[in-house]
Chain A
Amino acid sequence: MSTASAPRNVAAPDHERRPARPRESRGRRLGRRIWRERSAYLFLAPGMILFSVFTLAALIFAFYLTFHRWSIIEPDKPYVGTQNYEDMVHDERFVQAVLNTLYFTGASVPLTMLIGLGLALLLNQPLRGRALFRTAYYLPVVTPFVVSALLWKWLYNGDFGLFNYYLVKGHIIDQPLLWLSDKDLAMPAVVLMTVWSGVGFSMVIYLAGLQSIPHELYESAKLDGAGTFQRVRFVTIPLLRPTTLFLLVMGIIGSLQVFTQIFVMTSGGPVNRTTTMVYYMYLWAFKYYDMGYASTLAFALFAMLLVFTAFQLRLFRDGATS
């Protein structure tokens, strides 16, 4: 312990140390340390208070909700045990929503990453106008998602959408397609829009990854007689492994939670073919006012996210050293 005038938190040099005090109880010592570091708690307070209310309390409350029938409009909110979970397992629309979400994820994430990687490889060469291309591909990323969705809703329009016009004009299709109201085309259409707005991000991340690969590796590969393709295959791709993992985890987490595109472009239709998990949750909470069941759906989503993330981390752990 230092004297009052000495600064706090700085260990006093040996010759200034006082003879040790008689030992005090552990509780007292802890209390004294807490008091001495009181400013630290003060610094944490604002963040902690908000965090406790909107994250911790909310989590516990969400779990509590899953065991109740909780409607905003009805005064009594009875305890129903595991009824919500049982309902969920037998809910055909929920199964459909899970499958739709998996379909969406399985289509959009790999596409976004592959196209992003391809563009990054091409842009990682000494070209004129690199910055221009980079900006062009990144524009859709900075566009607010709602705006992209609205814009594409228009492009897909059956009667006067630009897609149909140019596809018919180019004789790629015979008659206009009803993109968003055809049950087999709606989800691919949403995927296409999502890929368009995500490619720029994965490209920029891959570019950052490419810049960090030491040039000497390419030199030595070249001396060993590796062609361009082999250099990409045996030098670039293995060294981009951490980047790929990052994009994969982020991409899957993001796309399992897809909502905005669905809300704006298809409203879950046609015949529930584009109803995703979050959209389905939204319906139950704010259209049918059953907060309990909606929370149960949210926990199902959470469980899926955990499984996916754990699986990927395991998948990439072996040999992820660079």
Chain B
Amino acid sequence: MTGVTEEPVASRFVGGAEPVVPRRLRRTRGWRRRPGAVRDREQMSRRAKLGTYLVLAPVAILFVAPFVWMISASFQPMSTIFANPPTWVPDDPTIDGYKGFLNVGTLTESQESQGHGDWRWFANSAFVAITITVLQTFFNALCAYTFAKRKFPGRNVIFVLFLATMMVPGQITLIPNYIIVQHIPFFGGNDWMGMGGHGWLNSYWGLIMPGIVSAFGIFLLRQYMMSIPDALLDAARIDGASEFRIFWNVVLPLCLPALAANAIFTFQGAWEDFLWPLLITSGDPDKTTAPVGLALFVVQNKTDWNLLFAGSVIATLPMILVFLVFQRHFVRGIAVTGIKE
């Protein structure tokens, strides 16, 4: 019952206002909209509805079908995956694919001989993605707060420097970063000049460190923190709170929506990041993340597609879970990004 125009409450019960009738009853009683009367927001003509569904439903099926196939194929043996016509519902589902990809239980002979996946890939992915998310959210918030609420010499210069690099695509820094990571001093057999070893290549350090700071995230959080009233922070200062205490107990709780959005996007990005882990972990399959493992699995083996589909399902699950749990934050996160002026 959404009246289009604002009217005094009383008039709804006086003549002129239509009583609320359940939608099911409307048709049977022959209630029709008077021609020319303004349609209220809740109504659509039946023809429009039908047309809409006729477009939406087939498209939805096209979008979901590949997924259904992927999940179905992950429970099939190799023989039926290649069958013609394609099997959408496996006759006797098997979890061999999952076993083979996670490398648990007894593997079939062909898997033993031509390669199998590794549960470590998913553990690596989870560890790296969670670490990056936690650290990035924390350090981004620290920087954003300082830029938004502190006045100190050099603030604007540093901030402009940050903003300027937001335009730089990641591909430019990819190659130098590879060389920098290779020559981090004291790590991976390097001397103090960063020579002689492999530095952070093939290590978690190399996977995590470059992903911790994001100019974009800092910018978003700063925009959000600008709206916190200064009086609140001053009150905390008068009460004798330290700067960190103010940040931790006053500012962060107020920024939860923005922080959540930042964390979700960071986690997604880190989980499906491909090019950087591909370069960094090329020398050590034990440090590889799930996407890289999956992609190289196709290249290296005469592909066991049932294993591959199983691995794909496992790699997709966390993303879908995060999405379903944080669905509201997604939309809000997009709103936080401030598309609307």
Contact = CB atoms under 8 A, between A and B. Distances in A.
B340 A306 contact: no
Interface string B143-167: 1011000111101001001100101
Nearest to B247: A43
B247 to A, nearest CB: 7
Contacts of A306: 167
Contact of A126 (B43, B81, B275): B43
Interface string B202-244: 0000000110110100100000000000000010011010011
B41 A48 contact: no
Interface string B231-268: 00010011010011001000000000000000000001
Most buried by B among A41, A143, A152: A143
B279 interface: yes
Interface stretch (A16-24, A179-187, A297-305): A297-305
Most buried by A among B84, B85, B171, B295: B171
Contacts of A127: 44, 49, 52-53, 56
A209 B151 CA distance: 35
B113 interface: no
B23 to A, nearest CB: 11
A151 B340 contact: no
A281 interface: yes
Contacts of B81: 160
Contacts of B193: none
A40 to B, nearest CB: 4
B70 to A, nearest CB: 5
Contacts of B218: 47
A54 interface: yes
A47 B158 CA distance: 12
Interface string B313-337: 0011001101100000011001100
Interface in B40-80: 41-44, 48-49, 52-53, 55-56, 59-60, 63-64, 66-67, 69-70
A172 interface: no
Interface string A1-30: 000000111100000000000000000001
Q: Say what secondary structure dominates the interface of chain B.
A: helix
A162 B56 contact: no
Contacts, number: 258
B295 A146 contact: yes
Contacts of A142: 268, 316, 319-320, 322-323
A127 to B, nearest CB: 6
A267 to B, nearest CB: 9
B89 interface: no
B93 interface: no
A154 B322 CA distance: 26
B171 A281 contact: yes
Contact of B320 (A9, A139, A285): A139
A43 B33 CA distance: 64
A230 to B, nearest CB: 16
Contacts of A219: 4, 38
Interface stretch (B11-19, B103-111, B172-180): B172-180
Interface stretch (A88-96, A103-111, A253-261): A253-261
A235 interface: no
A298 to B, nearest CB: 5
B323 A55 contact: no
B212 A37 contact: no
A150 interface: yes
B12 to A, nearest CB: 19
Contact of B41 (A34, A126, A243): A126
B67 to A, nearest CB: 6
Contacts of A199: 63
B199 interface: no
A305 B64 contact: no
B209 A55 contact: no
Contacts of B177: 54, 58
A132 B302 CA distance: 38
B44 A144 contact: no
A243 B339 contact: yes
Nearest to B66: A151
B114 to A, nearest CB: 18
A165 interface: yes
Contact of B173 (A62, A212, A222, A253): A62
Contacts of B146: 40, 43-44
11 contacts: A7-B240, A43-B146, A47-B142, A51-B213, A58-B172, A140-B66, A219-B4, A260-B275, A264-B298, A285-B175, A285-B178
Task: Give me the 8 closest cross-chain CB pairs, A-B, nearest first.
Answer: A37-B152, A144-B272, A146-B291, A58-B173, A61-B176, A58-B176, A47-B143, A136-B60
Given A34-B153, A47-B213, A143-B67, 16 more contacts: A44-B143, A47-B142, A54-B210, A122-B52, A125-B48, A140-B66, A144-B316, A146-B294, A281-B171, A285-B178, A286-B279, A295-B172, A295-B175, A298-B172, A298-B174, A301-B169
